[in-house]
Chain A
Amino acid sequence: MVLAIDDLTVDFTTDRGTLRAVDGVSLAVASGRTLAVVGESGSGKSVTALAAVGLLPGSARIGGRIALDGEPLTPDRQRALRGGAMAMIFQEPMTSLNPAFTAGEQVAEALRIHRGLPPRAAFEAGVAMLDRVRIPDAERRARQYPHQFSGGMRQRVMIAIALACAPRLLLADEPTTALDVTVQAQILALLDTLKRETGTAVVLITHDLGVVADHADDVAVMYAGRVVERAPAARLFAQPEHPYTVGLLGAVPKLAGGAGRLASIAGTVPDMRSPPRGCRFAPRCPFVIARCVAEAPPLMEMAPGHASACWRAPLSQVLEAA
């Protein structure tokens, strides 16, 4: 496993008490695989990723174990490996590049910090990297400033920066949310190609299930700071085993769906300062039973590689009855 997160907890101290944003999350990604982490805003998916690279603010208290290639990640190691062995792509390509430097200089910087390359060699390697992320006329574009790039092109530059040092792990936090749909598809296809070429493990954080279906090998569904279901992507779509996943899949618009109303999940995400005692989805769950309210369900293996945190799983009988 390239990245192994085990029983991760993240607490934030706020004015109105402690907030547990991530509660006992365990995830793992192998080399050359893509794990999609899916969930609504506030489900803890971005916090999990930031904890892995050590970019959470100082007010966050982190528990549990995070390991890269089997070696535990201490804050010092995170600082040393960040941008080198583990890289991150952010959501906002429009604002994530330093306006005062050219694209080539910014790609070169990763190589200068982590490979110790001299400026000239780093710049040339940066141009090669821009070419690899399919930026046309890379030699010339490398000398241009961020304001001369479109959103899609900037995200390509960000990917070039992230992949410059051939990272073992790439964390992509909603890399295409801010982009046009057509550009989105190009960027994700590019990430797939580069992943195949380099064997990088990818954690793709998204709330777009369409993206998950096309680009992920495995999926972890998060809800209110916990992983509620984990499965290979194809299996998750064919046979979801958590009512929340069922609800999410129902909320995806389909071309063949006709003019019917889009299904949505009733209710809202719980207040994380005082989460429900049992299953956190219980207040919104159509299949709720007494045990759900009283006792939090652990992630239980339903089939090889497929786990669900639901007392009522497997859901096949429940769904038929409904």
Chain B
Amino acid sequence: MNAIPPEPLATAPAVRQSPMRLALRRFLRHRLAVAGLVIVVLFVLGAALAPLIATADPNATSWSAIRREPSATYFFGTDENGRDVFSRVIWGARASLAAGFLSVAVALFIGVPIGLLAGLAGGWVDALISRIADAMLSVPFLILAIALAAFLGPALENAMIAIAISASPVFVRLSRGMALEANATDWVEAARALGNPPWRLGLLHVLPNIIPPLLVQATLSIAEAIIAEASLSFLGLGQQPPAPSWGSMLNSAQRFLTQAPWLAIFPGLAIFLVVLAFNLVGDGLRDALDPRSEKR
């Protein structure tokens, strides 16, 4: 960097090179991630527009059409009560995506402020919060979610709360680590010298700088939360019948695996696709938001 006077005017391009815009450009170069994003968007649209897309009432039973094979009338076939599997998969996306997005949003809302507090306050506050987070992380994610859901009672809302609580220690730990790292930088010291009170320092200075890793983790956590919701519903702790959910559909499909495999294949495929898509998006985001991975 040579800075011989007068300082060159033309070095910086005229466009506003916001970090987010640069990241977006890198993300769009990542083909698999874009494919993942397209799948996610399709599922979100499907869930949002379920009443328009579904070919039948997902809960309408029909004794004349029990366990029909997939056909032009019943795209994904029908189940043991004669309900249209296609419509149930579309409506089931609501439960899965709601569980994914909402529980991770709640987990972020719980985890990030606590993590920032731990990282910036230090001392016994940090020790206490970190030990609690460690204790929660020492229990496998799904086991903790099952225990909490069983304690709260079987309902989709309770399953989401259970997933949110189980997912939050990851965010506590991540934001604490990033806050510690930020706290050692010169710009945080400079911000302190500027008279920023501690809350402003955490929320306005540190938080925007740790958003990229949080975003990546959140995307991957959504995938986990969707699996967790499906698992809880499979166990009867999530979405309650007759409301459709991919997990509970898989549960009832168990008994007919040999006679009516489509009952298991389509909800399973939906879970597989949406989880894969979120993971692809997460990986793409990680590459796009981490400048060190740019050269690959």
Interface residues of B in 98-117 (CB under 8 A from A): none
A161→B196 CA distance, assembly (Å): 13
Give, as a whole number of angstroms, the nearest-CB distance from B216 to chain A: 16
Query: Are A98 and B195 neighbours in the complex by a CB distance under 8 Å?
Result: no
Give, as a whole number of angstroms, the nearest-CB distance from A284 to chain B: 33
Residues 142-157 of A, flagged 1 when their CB comes within 8 A of B and 0 if not, give 0111011111110000
Known contacts A136-B9, A137-B9, A150-B11, A99 near B195 by CB under 8 Å: no
B140 contacts chain A at the CB level, 8 A cutoff: no
Query: Are A90 and B12 neighbours in the complex by a CB distance under 8 Å?
Result: no
Known contacts A95-B185, A136-B9, A83 near B194 by CB under 8 Å: yes
B209 contacts chain A at the CB level, 8 A cutoff: yes
Query: Are B12 and A99 neighbours in the complex by a CB distance under 8 Å?
Result: no
A225 contacts chain B at the CB level, 8 A cutoff: no
Query: Are B195 and A84 neighbours in the complex by a CB distance under 8 Å?
Result: yes
Chain A: which residue is nearest B209 at the CB level? A100
29 A-B residue pairs with Cβ-Cβ distance under 8 Å, sorted by A, are A55-B193, A79-B195, A79-B197, A81-B195, A82-B194, A83-B196, A87-B193, A96-B186, A97-B190, A98-B208, A98-B209, A100-B208, A100-B209, A109-B194, A109-B196, A110-B194, A113-B200, A114-B195, A136-B6, A144-B16, A145-B19, A148-B17, A150-B1, A150-B3, A152-B3, A152-B7, A158-B190, A182-B3, A182-B4
Give, as a whole number of angstroms, the nearest-CB distance from B199 to chain A: 12
Q: Which residues of chain A have C-beta atoms less than 8 A from B6's C-beta?
A: 136
Chain B: which residue is nearest A109 at the CB level? B194
B60 contacts chain A at the CB level, 8 A cutoff: no
Interface residues of B in 125-152 (CB under 8 A from A): none
A182→B5 CA distance, assembly (Å): 8
Which of B1, B17, B200, B205 contacts A145, CB < 8 Å? B17
Q: Which residues of chain B have C-beta atoms less than 8 A from A150's C-beta?
A: 1, 3, 7, 11
B52 contacts chain A at the CB level, 8 A cutoff: no
Residues 194-217 of B, flagged 1 when their CB comes within 8 A of A and 0 if not, give 111100100001001100000000
A80 contacts chain B at the CB level, 8 A cutoff: yes
A186→B6 CA distance, assembly (Å): 10
A92 contacts chain B at the CB level, 8 A cutoff: yes
Chain B: which residue is nearest A101 at the CB level? B208
B192 contacts chain A at the CB level, 8 A cutoff: yes
A140 contacts chain B at the CB level, 8 A cutoff: yes
A231 contacts chain B at the CB level, 8 A cutoff: no
A169 contacts chain B at the CB level, 8 A cutoff: no
Give, as a whole number of angstroms, the nearest-CB distance from B112 to chain A: 16
A288 contacts chain B at the CB level, 8 A cutoff: no
Chain A: which residue is nearest B4 at the CB level? A182
Chain B: which residue is nearest A148 at the CB level? B12
Query: Are A55 and B192 neighbours in the complex by a CB distance under 8 Å?
Result: yes
Q: Which residues of chain B have C-beta atoms less than 8 A from A10's C-beta?
A: none
Give, as a whole number of angstroms, the nearest-CB distance from A148 to chain B: 4
A-B contacts at CB below 8 angstroms, number = 100
Query: Are B205 and A99 neighbours in the complex by a CB distance under 8 Å?
Result: no
Give, as a whole number of angstroms, the nearest-CB distance from A186 to chain B: 6
A81→B193 CA distance, assembly (Å): 10
A248 contacts chain B at the CB level, 8 A cutoff: no
A4 contacts chain B at the CB level, 8 A cutoff: no
A292 contacts chain B at the CB level, 8 A cutoff: no
Chain A: which residue is nearest B191 at the CB level? A98
Query: Are A96 and B12 neighbours in the complex by a CB distance under 8 Å?
Result: no
A224→B193 CA distance, assembly (Å): 26
Q: Which residues of chain A have C-beta atoms less than 8 A from B16's C-beta?
A: 102, 143-144
A180 contacts chain B at the CB level, 8 A cutoff: yes
Known contacts A150-B3, A182-B3, A182-B4, A99 near B17 by CB under 8 Å: no
Q: Which residues of chain B have C-beta atoms less than 8 A from A152's C-beta?
A: 3, 7
B64 contacts chain A at the CB level, 8 A cutoff: no
B258 contacts chain A at the CB level, 8 A cutoff: no
B187 contacts chain A at the CB level, 8 A cutoff: yes
A202 contacts chain B at the CB level, 8 A cutoff: no
Query: Are B195 and A113 neighbours in the complex by a CB distance under 8 Å?
Result: yes
A236 contacts chain B at the CB level, 8 A cutoff: no
Query: Are B196 and A99 neighbours in the complex by a CB distance under 8 Å?
Result: no
A117 contacts chain B at the CB level, 8 A cutoff: no
A148→B9 CA distance, assembly (Å): 11
Among all A-B residue pairs, the 7 with the closest Cβ atoms? A83-B195, A83-B194, A95-B186, A100-B208, A148-B12, A96-B186, A82-B195
Other than the given A81-B195, A90-B189, A113-B194, 19 more pairs (CB < 8 A) read A79-B195, A80-B195, A83-B195, A90-B190, A92-B186, A96-B186, A96-B190, A98-B205, A102-B16, A113-B196, A136-B7, A144-B16, A144-B17, A151-B3, A152-B7, A161-B190, A161-B194, A180-B2, A182-B3
The residue in B3, B11, B13, B209 that gathers the most chain A C-beta atoms within 10 A of its C-beta is B3
Q: Which residues of chain B have C-beta atoms less than 8 A from A98's C-beta?
A: 187, 190-191, 205, 208-209
Chain B: which residue is nearest A114 at the CB level? B195
Which of B5, B12, B186 contacts A149, CB < 8 Å? B12
Q: Which residues of chain A have C-beta atoms less than 8 A from B209's C-beta?
A: 98-100
A216 contacts chain B at the CB level, 8 A cutoff: no
B14 contacts chain A at the CB level, 8 A cutoff: yes
A88 contacts chain B at the CB level, 8 A cutoff: yes
Query: Are A97 and B196 neighbours in the complex by a CB distance under 8 Å?
Result: no
Give, as a whole number of angstroms, the nearest-CB distance from B242 to chain A: 48
B293 contacts chain A at the CB level, 8 A cutoff: no
A62 contacts chain B at the CB level, 8 A cutoff: no
